[in-house]
Structure 1
Amino acid sequence: MKCLAITLIVHRPDPATGVKKPTHDRFREVLDNAVLAEELGFDGFGVGERHERPFLSSSPTVVLSHVAARTRRIRLFTAVTTLSLLDPVRAYEDYATLDHLSEGRLDLIIGKGNGTAQRELFHVTPEDQWDRNAESYEVFRQLWRQDRVTADTRFRPPLKDAEVWPRPYQRPVRVWHGSATSKESVDLAARYGDPLFSANVTHAIEPYAELIRYYRERWEHHGHDPARITVGAGSAGLYVARTTQEALTAYRPLFESNLAFQREAGLPVVFETLEDFVERGSALIGSPQQVIDKVHRYHEEFGHTVLHVHADASGLTDIQHRDSLELFQSAVAPVLRRDIPDPPFAWEPVVPGPAATDR
């Protein structure tokens, strides 16, 4: 199993102190967490994309470019690239450039995105968002693979024998499809034989498991090799401690702060207590063995070979945060890597053949 650390760059007051860090400091924290993730041996570091409060992740390519400059080994993920909001030509230019700067360490997780504010900002409607996402991906995919592209598009000016530069480093880049609760992204992933990344954050396990089952059905319907199916899954929170009680005690103020935020924002509350959150949700909170057992339980339902955990302290102290990540990597990750297989593809950059002049 491969393990990623991911941030959406949430910018809210600290649950313990009530103080909100300056924007500059929050970005520095993200960069430091990326370096820490590489030092501790995580396989990937991801940055989300959101265009509304309380997030600072509106420009993941810029953040990941800086992460690329400060790291050497760790793969870089988007989580997710909101292609329904973006011009696929501009998105291709940005990510092809990042792919070169990172020496081919880029993976994309794409999705339509969500949130009324960002849809209004980009003049995207609930009725056309899925069509926009599919069209943008189809154009993006062609641009990555073909030197010249012709596309009769609805949501941007059509392309006719278009050249877009730079040509990519990886041939091709790996693109995952982020899925929360809708079948449209699952259908798109299965159609093209692409890996699926389940959000697996907000609800209990069943709706996510149902979508993954549907993905497997559609994968085989489109004639792809079942042995090549690849699923990743998220988690709703992380705190690994020596004992379950120590973990619950440390995490309780964070849970209660997040619960208050959900109620204040009018968001649906799925888990009313921390104990229910740990038992039925995807949060990895507890002793190393408790976390291992939970990932195995989810793996029985999902068959996932990639797991993401939170890169941010999210209200934990710096010491608690680092201790938790260190314990995860020393006591949890080795067992998961031993017991659960890796994805059925190489983790390294895909750059076939000799160096080409167009790079």
Structure 2
Amino acid sequence: MRFLMITLIVHAPHPVTGVRKSTYDRFREVVDNALIAEELGFDGFGVGERHERPFISSSPPVVLSHIAALTSRIRLFTAVTTLSLLDPVRAYEDYATLDHLSAGRLELIIGKGNGTAQRELFHVTSEDQWDRNAESYELFRRLWREEKVTATPRFRPRLTEAEVWPRPLQQPIRVWHGSATSRESVDLAARYGDPLFSANVTNAIEPYAELVRHYRERWAEYGHDPAAAVVGAGSAGYYADRRSQDAVAAYRPVFEGQLAFQRRLGLEPVFPTLEDFVERSSALIGSPQQIIEKVHRYHEQFGHSVMHLHADAGGLTDAQHRDSLELFQSDIAPVLRREIPDPPWGWGPVTPEPVSAIPEG
């Protein structure tokens, strides 16, 4: 099994103290967490894309390019690239450039995105967002693979023998499809033989497990080898301590602060108590053994081989956050790596072809 740390770069008041960091400090925190992820041995670091408050993750290519310059091993993910809002030509240019700057460590998780405000910002309607997502992905996919593209898309101007530069380093790039509640994303992933990443953070397991089952069914119907279907899954929160009682006690003020924040936004919490959150959500809070057992319970439903943890402290102190991540790598990850298989592909960076010398004259 492989493990990612992911941030949506929420820019909100601290759930316990109520203090909100400056934008500069929040971005600095994201970069520091990426460096911690590489230092501690995580396999990937992901940055989301949102175009509305309270998020400041509107430009993941820029953030990931900076992280790429400061790291050498960890794979870099988008989580998710909102192709329903983007011109696929411009998205291709950004990510083909980042592919080179990261030495082939880039992977994309795409999706239509969530949120009414960002949809309105880009003049995308609830009726056409799925069609836009599918069209943008199909064109992005062709641009990545073909040196010249002719196409008559519905949502952007026609392309005629279009050449788009730079050509990418990875050929092809791995693209995951992020899915929270919809069968459209699941079907698109299955159609193209791409891996699926279940959001799996808002509700209990049942609706997500149903979508994963649908993905595997559609995968087989499209003629792909059932053994080659790959699923990743998120987690709603993480904090581990040697004793489960200590983990729950440390996380309680964080949960209560998050609960209050949801209610200020007018949202009715799905999990009204911490005990319910620990029991029924995908949150991993407790002793190492409890967390290992819970991941296995989810694996029985999803069959996933990649999992993400939140990169942000989210209300924990910096010391608590780091100690908990170190405990994950020392006591939890080795067991899960041993007991749950990896995806059926390599995980290291691409080795670029040597550049031929330019002859004199």
5 Å-filtered alignment, 1:211-226, equals 211-226=211-226
What residue in structure 2 maps to residue 130 of structure 1? 130
Q: Percent identity?
A: 78
- Counterpart Cα distance in 2 of 1:290 and 1:40: 21
- Counterpart Cα distance in 2 of 1:349 and 1:301: 31
- Counterpart Cα distance in 1 of 2:207 and 2:172: 31
- Counterpart Cα distance in 1 of 2:300 and 2:16: 36
- Counterpart Cα distance in 1 of 2:151 and 2:219: 25
5 Å-filtered alignment, 1:41-190, equals 41-190=41-190
What residue in structure 1 maps to residue 265 of structure 2? 265
Q: Tell me the TM-score normalized by structure 1.
A: 0.98
What residue in structure 2 maps to residue 334 of structure 1? 334
- Counterpart Cα distance in 1 of 2:111 and 2:141: 14
- Counterpart Cα distance in 2 of 1:267 and 1:229: 35
What residue in structure 1 maps to residue 247 of structure 2? 247
Amino acid paired to 2:68: A
**Deviations 1:278-299 (Å, cap 9, x if unpaired)?**
1000001111001100000000
Corresponding pairs, count: 357
**Deviations 1:66-86 (Å, cap 9, x if unpaired)?**
000010000000000000000
Any conservation in 1 of the 2:237–2:285 contact (CA below 8 Å)? yes
- Counterpart Cα distance in 1 of 2:351 and 2:326: 33
Amino acid paired to 2:160: K
**Deviations 1:249-308 (Å, cap 9, x if unpaired)?**
111111111111112212232101001001000001111001100000000000000000
Cα distance, 1:104 vs structure 2: 0.1
**Deviations 1:177-216 (Å, cap 9, x if unpaired)?**
0000100000000000000000000000000000000000
Instruction: Structure 2 unaligned segments of length 5 or more: list them.
Output: none
5 Å-filtered alignment, 1:336-351, equals 336-349=336-349
Q: Which runs of 4+ in 1 moved over 4 A?
A: 349-357
Cα distance, 1:226 vs structure 2: 1.0
Amino acid paired to 1:85: L
What residue in structure 2 maps to residue 291 of structure 1? 291
- Counterpart Cα distance in 1 of 2:245 and 2:45: 29
**CA separation of 1:109 and 1:356: change in aligned 2, threshold 3 A:** farther
Any conservation in 2 of the 1:171–1:352 contact (CA below 8 Å)? no
Cα distance, 1:348 vs structure 2: 2.8
- Counterpart Cα distance in 1 of 2:114 and 2:16: 28
Amino acid paired to 1:21: K
- Counterpart Cα distance in 2 of 1:350 and 1:224: 26
Amino acid paired to 2:229: I
Instruction: Structure 1 unaligned segments of length 5 or more: list them.
Output: none
